[in-house]
Amino acid sequence: MALARPVVFGNWKMNGSAADGEALCRALAAKAASGLEGTLGVFPPAVLLPRAGAWLDASPVLLGAQDCHGEAKGAFTGDLAAPMLVEAGAKAIIVGHSERRQYHDESDATVRGKAEAAIAAGAIAVICIGETEAEYVAGETLQRLEAQLAGSVPDLATAATVVVAYEPVWAIGTGRTPTNAEITAAHGFLREQLVARFADGADFRLLYGGSVKASNAQEILHLANVDGALVGGASLEADGFWTIYEAGLGG
Ligand code: 13P
Q: How far apart are CA 112 and CA 117, in angstroms?
A: 9
Active site residue 87: no
**Is residue 232 scored above 80 in pLDDT?**
yes
Position 208, amino acid:
Y
pLDDT of residue 172: 97
**Does residue 153 have its Cβ closer than 6 Å to ligand 1?**
no
Active-site residue (options: 97, 99, 116, 246): 97
Q: What is the pLDDT of residues 193-224, one digit of tens each?
A: 999 999 999 999 999 999 999 999 999 999 99
In whole angstroms, give the CA distance from residue 133 to residue 140: 10
Three-class DSSP category at 5: coil
187 is annotated as an active-site residue: no
The domain segmentation of the chain, as residue ranges, is 7-32+48-68+78-247
Over range 18-38, report the average pLDDT: 97
- What per-residue confidence (pLDDT) applies to 16? 86
pLDDT of residue 73: 98
pLDDT, mean of residues 76-83: 98
CATH number of 7-32+48-68+78-247: 3.20.20.70
> pLDDT digit string (tens) for 82-114?
999 999 999 999 999 999 999 999 999 999 999
Q: Which atom in ligand 1 lies closest to the alpha carbon of residue 209?
A: 6
pLDDT at 115: 99
Q: Which of 200, 69, 183 is nearest to 131 (CA)?
A: 183
* Ligand 1 atom index nearest CA of 235: 2
Gap between the Cα atoms of 88 and 121, Å rounded: 12
Give the residue-averaged pLDDT of 25-35: 97
pLDDT band at 14 (very low <50, low <70, confident <90, very high): very high
CA of 163 to the centre of ligand 1 (A): 16
**Predicted local distance difference test score (pLDDT) of residue 58:** 87
Residues in the chain: 251
**Ligand 1 centroid distance, CA of 169 (Å):** 9
